[in-house]
Structures are given as C-alpha cells and as structure tokens.
C-alpha cells in the first residue's frame, strides 16, 4: 500500500472544496460542480475518500467510498455534500451549523485482503491506528476508518464493533468471512 504525499496546498484546497460544497448544497441542493482543469494532477487522480463532519466533537455525518472511481477533488466535493445532507443517521446540516462544523477528509489506499486462518490469527496481524478494515461475509459488509481506533483501541474491540456494524454478532465467525485492510491520509 502506498500513500500519496499531498502538499499542504492540496490539503487546504480539498478542505475548502468540502466546505464550499456544503455551502453550495445549502442553496442549491447539490454538490459543488468541479472544473478539473483548475487543480493539480494529484487532485485529479482517481482516489477513494471519506468526508467526516463533526459538530461539538460529535459525529454529524460521514460519507465516502472504498473504491476509487473518480477524480479526488470531485469525490471530496460529492462526499462533503452527502455527509451534510444525505447521511441517513442525521438530519440535514443547517445554515446555523455551517460555521461550527469540523471537516475531516480521509483519502484511502486501495484495499488489500488479509490472509488469516482464525480470528486470533487475524487479530495478531492488525495494526492499530494504521489499518482501516473492510469486513465482508455474504450480504454483510462494513468498514471502519483508521481513525476509529481512537475510540476502539484494542484489536478485539475494533473487530467486534466492526462485526456489529456489519450486522453480525461478536461471536460470529462465518466460514466466508473476508477482511481487507487499507490506510489513509487524513487531515
């Protein structure tokens, strides 16, 4: 897994685009349109991202994708809008909340499968504060970004909560379970 080094300027541009997309969405009910030619090659590269919104240190919205399918600058614009207005766990962001929001962007490396022969073997391979995980089993699927390690510091807690998020019980260990890891550049 290789992380791209984004310049401070690129990171600031992405944060500004996320904010502008939410402001644009308040007035126009859609994400900020993006003209790619205005941006650096790094921001035009196909990348997967998540945009997380916090209000008073509490989650206020988080939307993203695990697969790179469009230019990063466009991905961030669309996910910022979706985190503010389409996260089914929350009401739409209001104009009065706009200037109090904290915006966090995570850019993902491509996910790679982890080979393991048991749950304990998997747990021994996890890298706290580095790994983001994707769990797949039948129709069950969930992910946790590496930032979730801040709340769930032990590999056991991290994996158990990921199972619950996927709709499994903490005691479940299906034969078809697959786990993938990825890393993020977060700011």
Q: For the chain, which residues make up each domain, given as ranges?
A: 8-108, 112-186
CA-wise closest residue to 184 among 156, 150, 157, 141: 150
pLDDT at 1 over 70: no
pLDDT at 3 over 70: no
- CB-neighbour burial class of residue 63 (10 A; exposed 0-12, middle 13-18, buried 19+): buried
- The highest-level CATH class for domain 8-108 is alpha beta
Average pLDDT score over residue span 100-114: 95
pLDDT at 163 over 70: yes
pLDDT at 2 over 70: no
Average pLDDT score over residue span 113-136: 97
CA-wise closest residue to 13 among 62, 72, 53, 64: 72
In this predicted structure, what is the pLDDT of residue 55? Answer: 96
37-92 pLDDT, tens digit per residue, is 999 999 999 999 999 999 999 999 999 999 999 999 999 999 999 999 999 999 99
CA–CA distance, 95 with 97 (Å, rounded to integer) = 5
Average pLDDT score over residue span 1-21: 89
Confidence tier at 14 by pLDDT (50, 70, 90): very high
- The highest-level CATH class for domain 112-186 is alpha beta
Considering the entire predicted model, what is its pTM? 0.87
Contact at 8 Å (CB) between 168 and 179?
no
State how far Cα 121 lies from the chain centre.
26
């Amino acid at each position: 897994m290789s992380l791209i080094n984004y310049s401070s300027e690129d990171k600031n541009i992405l944060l500004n685009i996320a904010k502008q997309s939410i402001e644009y969405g308040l007035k126009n009910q859609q994400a900020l349109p993006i003209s790619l030619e205005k941006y650096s090659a790094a921001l035009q590269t196909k990348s997967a991202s998540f945009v997380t919104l916090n209000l008073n240190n509490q989650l206020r919205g988080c939307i993203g994708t695990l697969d790179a399918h469009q230019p990063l600058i466009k991905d961030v614009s669309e996910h910022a809008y979706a985190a503010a207005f389409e996260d089914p766990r929350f009401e739409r962001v209001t104009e009065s909340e706009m200037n109090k929001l904290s915006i966090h962007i995570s850019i993902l490396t491509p996910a790679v499968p982890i080979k393991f022969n048991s749950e304990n073997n998997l747990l021994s391979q996890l890298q706290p504060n580095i790994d983001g995980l994707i769990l797949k089993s039948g129709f069950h699927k969930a992910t946790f970004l590496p930032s979730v390690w801040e709340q769930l510091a032990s590999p056991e807690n991290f994996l158990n909560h990921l199972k619950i998020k996927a709709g499994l019980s903490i005691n479940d260990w299906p034969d078809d379970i697959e786990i993938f890891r990825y890393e993020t550049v977060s700011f």
